[in-house]
Structure 1
């Protein structure tokens, strides 16, 4: 009888322990997660030390994010341009939906930024750095309890910051990357410990004109990158046999072409050196954030997301800059670290996009995803629940700009196998590339008889995407579009 009574007590205690364990696990899972989002400008997806793309480039802190977290090599933007991409990150929408289609288009006035949802959920939020979306002003925007920004592109040295509505001018060779990092860390140190936090650190670097911190200037002097296989085709005339569009060949001697970069006789290798030196300050910023989280015991539970707003070409197809739908332009670096969620050192091949950032962060905050966000959280990709992701294709759109008329309006679709690019308003060839067999996008297969069914299917998918998401009308913007001599603040282009 005593044995039976003891067994009943033992079963009761085990049941109680299991219930408590389950409750604690649920509580831990449901607890809103602290998130730090670090955004850089024009950082190409493979220009980090651990990728080996540039053997002499050193980025130890980005390397650490990759080794202790995840590197997603197939991360894409929906429009490879600063303002549209930043708007897609903040709204979780395509460019034709939020209508900030270029760097001059104004905010339509009806947009909600995902940090606003975080505020309603009890988060303390902050923004540091480049906004450059919807206008060139520096005024505080909705969704942020603490705000620090500057006009347009800003400057690398001696910046002026608008801090919660008050403009402060910095002198004595103050470097913008260091200043933003210092202020971001100060905010973290003085935050309310009882509330979850979201911090958006948005660096000016590594946007042209590249200016590294003085301590990094000259570090890579004389270093060179290997020129890409498609570098010379527009110079030798081989582009005709490769069936490239004529606008690509014509752009070689333009603002975004390798023979007349930024309308100057500049050596591209020297530009790459300055670009990489400028990136070193950003890497140190990442290290400073990691060091702070470690000191506070927050490094395992805090999700850090590092991302670029668009990619950058360094000679591919005879081009520099972004805007086009070639891989180096549309791909961005995406590093995610959160030891509480997943083990480090993984490299998921699934395709993700910038419209997935907002759903990911909202999901970690326990906030229901709004219906106007078509993206998905990429956490299931990182944890192995959905290692292949939720999409089989990504779509792309870019709208002709008055200030940079060399690149036409284009729409595109990419799968793991093929990329299709369709141009609007220009008498020229469209493009199809077999990415598996031609990763450099050298051989345009648009006229290949054996690929016509593929082209037809991709075109139908492209139009279906536009029709289903309200993108069949190009969102023209009625706005005063400043020319190069009209900017009040240096570097706004």
Structure 2
């Protein structure tokens, strides 16, 4: 029986059992019988792109994303894709390591990258793949370390900038001027690398965009294209504005956050109306969509589409007013769900909509399978290749979530949670407040907290037990310490933290 509390202990991150694996040399992986020949993979990641802000979903009637729409209609759309932690650095590390945040230890945006961290591109390198990385790394704020697992890498510090960036290209700093836009630059360099690579070897290309992270700045060709368009405020936008929120059973911290940096009444992005912020966000997404199209077009023109898979994903979701919140971090659907598209004309028939739950920890096992390798035992995720083949047998029936309180952003508490196809259970930690339980089938907007409804006592106890069993079984029964680095100014906030 799992313990019903978390030990707050002074522990080193590396004491977590699974993390000890990372201290060893790179283990050999057995070959998989699944994939022959081995596939090329292009992985495109964006920042803060929420799951339903794509044209084909219909969420924003005026939003145009023709290339993402093309990926969905000619590929696969995963309707229920989630991250394990809705925050940039932890999510990106979970993608690369295939591990939960409390295992890989990067639990916020300023935690330094452990020297002994293993990432799945290292396995690809060993097996003969050419590997390249372009864009936002964001595991720590430095840009002078070689990006582990990549033969060629181009990156920048922290969040970077939208205009006239400075890139570290394989250890050499290169400054760009003349109104160079970062999304376009990274796309051009990624395609140039594809052209120059050794055509006899398989490849893995990771294109990691800064967009659409705030403060958003669209490319000049997209600026103003949605001027005057209206954003329909979410149904739950006003429900924490008065004491009416109590009838919904929402936690008090959600009400209080309305007036914080991450709330609709004091957004950290700018003192602008929310519809103006949303319009600029969607305009900034325009160059990302063109990036997706440029990659797909190049693959088709060169015939590489016959043996290449393209994955498009966001590092976390984003709330635009739901529950009175702006930002991510929390476990509501808008924050934890991400866009997830897969395109490979020769691997599977297009037009698939997959409803099974996938997570960012599934990327590593999947790419390794496509490379003809079996995942290492320490990775808890699964290859979603079986879902693309129409095989749902043995697939997960629940996902788990964790977010650790940040010194710089104390408005959101530590949160643990579990989600099934029907229910979501949320448990905050370190504050005196209510837990949450939602029936996602009857209440997809997560409006009515059922935690005090006696008709749901059994399901609440069951989910709480599963949540703490997961933490106990994955060495998560402690809250990792986080290193706070004081800047010379005395300000404890850091570039890249936002």
TM-score, normalised to structure 2, is 0.91
Q: Do the aligned partners of 1:156 and 1:204 also contact (CA within 8 Å) in 2?
A: yes
From 276, 289, 309, give the equivalent of 1:303: 309
Task: Give 3-state SS (helix, strand or coil) of 1:455's partner.
Answer: helix
From 394, 399, 407, give the equivalent of 1:402: 407
Gaps of 5+ in 2: 1-31
Aligned to 1:97: 103
Q: Deviations over 1:168-217 (max 9, x none)?
A: 00001100000000000000000000100000000000000000000000
Kindly indicate whether residue 423 of structure 2 is the aligned counterpart of residue 418 of structure 1: yes
Aligned to 2:369: 363
How far has the Cα of 1:423 moved from its partner? 0.9
How far has the Cα of 1:475 moved from its partner? 1.1
Aligned to 1:157: 163
Please identify, of 135-144 and 304-313, the stretch whose mean Cα deviation from structure 2 is larger: 135-144
Q: Deviations over 1:335-389 (max 9, x none)?
A: 0011222110110110000000000000000112111100000011111022x66
How far has the Cα of 1:126 moved from its partner? 0.1
Aligned to 1:216: 222
Compute the RMSD of aligned alpha carbons: 1.8
Kindly indicate whether residue 40 of structure 2 is the aligned counterpart of residue 34 of structure 1: yes
Task: Give 3-state SS (helix, strand or coil) of 2:244's partner.
Answer: coil
From 429, 436, 443, give the equivalent of 2:434: 429
The CA distance in 2 between the partners of 1:145 and 1:410, in whole Å, is 37
Aligned to 1:231: 237
Task: Give 3-state SS (helix, strand or coil) of 2:297's partner.
Answer: helix
Kindly indicate whether residue 118 of structure 2 is the aligned counterpart of residue 112 of structure 1: yes
Aligned to 2:153: 147
Q: Do the aligned partners of 2:484 and 2:492 also contact (CA within 8 Å) in 1?
A: no
From 341, 352, 355, give the equivalent of 1:346: 352
The CA distance in 2 between the partners of 1:28 and 1:454, in whole Å, is 38
How far has the Cα of 1:476 moved from its partner? 1.1
1:314-353 mapped onto 2 (5 Å cutoff): 314-353=320-359
How far has the Cα of 1:481 moved from its partner? 5.3
Q: Do the aligned partners of 1:154 and 1:490 also contact (CA within 8 Å) in 2?
A: no
Task: Give 3-state SS (helix, strand or coil) of 1:235's partner.
Answer: coil
The CA distance in 2 between the partners of 1:484 and 1:160, in whole Å, is 24
Higher normalized contact order (CA 8 Å, seq sep 6+, divided by chain length) = 2
Gap change, CA 1:241 and 1:489, over 3 Å in 2: closer
Larger Rg: 1
- Count of matched residue positions in the alignment of Structure 1 and Structure 2: 467
Aligned to 2:456: 451
Aligned to 2:263: 257
From 65, 73, 77, give the equivalent of 1:67: 73
Q: Do the aligned partners of 2:413 and 2:428 also contact (CA within 8 Å) in 1?
A: yes
Q: Do the aligned partners of 2:485 and 2:492 also contact (CA within 8 Å) in 1?
A: no
TM-score, normalised to structure 1, is 0.92
How far has the Cα of 1:461 moved from its partner? 0.2
Bigger helix fraction:
1
Gap change, CA 1:489 and 1:457, over 3 Å in 2: closer
Q: Do the aligned partners of 1:350 and 1:389 also contact (CA within 8 Å) in 2?
A: no
How far has the Cα of 1:109 moved from its partner? 2.2
Task: Give 3-state SS (helix, strand or coil) of 1:276's partner.
Answer: helix
From 398, 412, 416, give the equivalent of 1:393: 398
